[in-house]
Structure 1
Amino acid sequence: MKQIYLIRHAQSAANAGKTSDTVTHTNAKIPITELGQQQAEQLSIWLRQNIENVHEIFVSPYLRTQQTAAPYVQAIHMQPTILPNLHEFNYLSFANIQGKTFQDVKTQSEHYWALNDVDFRDGDDCDSFASFFQQISDVRRYFSAKDDGVYVVFGHGFWIGVLLWQLIGRYADSLNMTKFREFELLVRPKNTDVYLWQMDNQIESIAKVRNANDDV
């Protein structure tokens, strides 16, 4: 059996931003906040207390997952592997949002979802919903081919939402963006929530095993 501990990164500057703040970082370069650093430290303690015999640790190419993982990997002296397909959904082009307020970006985001076009890309630096959906499927195949054991994965909230959507098995609605968006807003994990994603032969399951609010 493969046991994959899947974690949403700690609070980022984008998560903490006010509606009047402006976009200054590309999606890949958004850092965690001071609170996010505290969350990462608490997460490191929880992981060391609850998980043993870790085979491998993975992070996305994005800065916020690597910063979240840093206290843990330093404490246990393991080097994380960057897995490109763990990156977060990048559906608004930086060229179209740079310097705009978070409120403006929210409006553009709502427009994107209203288009309901699974193949639409806002720019060359963006994913389409269909390509992002395939990205999560590719990671599932990647871990399916790994040896049995324990893995720790630092990822992103929207990414986890798509995985949950795939695992509930509603394939007839899988690329229905309107239904998915309703689902994702309901299940979106909090910063440093932890899920246990298990693979036993062809059977997959997932459950939340740490609620970040437990540290409060």
Structure 2
Amino acid sequence: MTSFGDVPLTALGHQQAREVANRVQHQPDMLIVSPFLRARATAEPICARWPLARCETWPIHELTYLSPARCHGSTVETRRPVVEAYWLLCDPDYTDGPDAESFRSFMTRLLEFHNRLNSADGDFVVVVGHGQFFRAYLLGLREGFTVSSHWMERYRKEETARPMANGEIVELTGEALKRCQD
């Protein structure tokens, strides 16, 4: 593994991807997919079921707040102090290394996704990405996409208290998307 984006989908993940594809009951006007390998693999059964659906890759990947190079060969346990220190600092401009992203950059991606989604053609858009990204997006819809230590704290609290399950589907109407004050 050279980055978090290269983590493959597990056998269980492939099964969950097929189950999600079966829940997509009609052809999407557009399928938006994260560039991360496991998201692309999750989208494959949807693409196979609906081959005429337009598919686009958007930068809706996870927040890579820890440097993958620095984390190479680490375990969840050995990373725990570094993760805790990052979230204790709660500095939206902090970058852990040249291969990591600041929280401010993540927030910029969230707002860009929101704006692109609102201007996308079609009434039925399916987005395949990551729970971390979608948890932040839902918080942004409720509270706006403000870059601050407070927002960062709120996100971390919500993301750890209610992580999204693999294969979880969130349905949003155009009205829900328009409610956000950016």
Using the size of structure 1 for normalisation, the TM-score is 0.75
- 1:81 and 1:75 map into 2 onto residues whose CA distance is 16
Percent identity of equivalent pairs: 28
The reply on whether 1:199 has 2:166 as its aligned counterpart is no
Who is 1:63 aligned against?
37
Who is 2:6 aligned against?
29
Structure ranking higher in strand proportion = 1
What SS does structure 2 have at the residue aligned with 1:81?
strand
The 5 Å alignment of 1:8-157 reads 24-48=1-25, 52-78=26-52, 80-83=55-58, 85-157=59-131
- 2:177 and 2:12 map into 1 onto residues whose CA distance is 39
Who is 1:8 aligned against?
none
Higher relative contact order (CA 8 A, sep 6+): 1
Who is 2:165 aligned against?
190
Deviation at 1:154, TM superposition (A): 0.2
1:159 maps to which of 121, 130, 133: 133
Deviation at 1:198, TM superposition (A): 2.1
Q: Is the 8 A contact 1:28 1:61 kept in 2?
A: yes
Size of the alignment, in residue pairs? 178
1:70-89 residue CA offsets vs partner (Å, 9 max, x unmatched): 11211221452111x21111
Deviation at 1:108, TM superposition (A): 1.5
1:80-134 residue CA offsets vs partner (Å, 9 max, x unmatched): 2111x21111111111100112211222111111111110000111111111012
Q: Is the 8 A contact 1:57 1:151 kept in 2?
A: yes
Deviation at 1:201, TM superposition (A): 9.4
Q: Which amino acid aligns with 2:57?
A: I
- 1:144 and 1:175 map into 2 onto residues whose CA distance is 27
5+ residue gaps, structure 1, are: 1-23, 206-216
- 1:171 and 1:153 map into 2 onto residues whose CA distance is 19
Deviation at 1:187, TM superposition (A): 2.8
5+ residue gaps, structure 2, are: none
Structure ranking higher in helix proportion = 2
Q: Which amino acid aligns with 2:7?
A: I
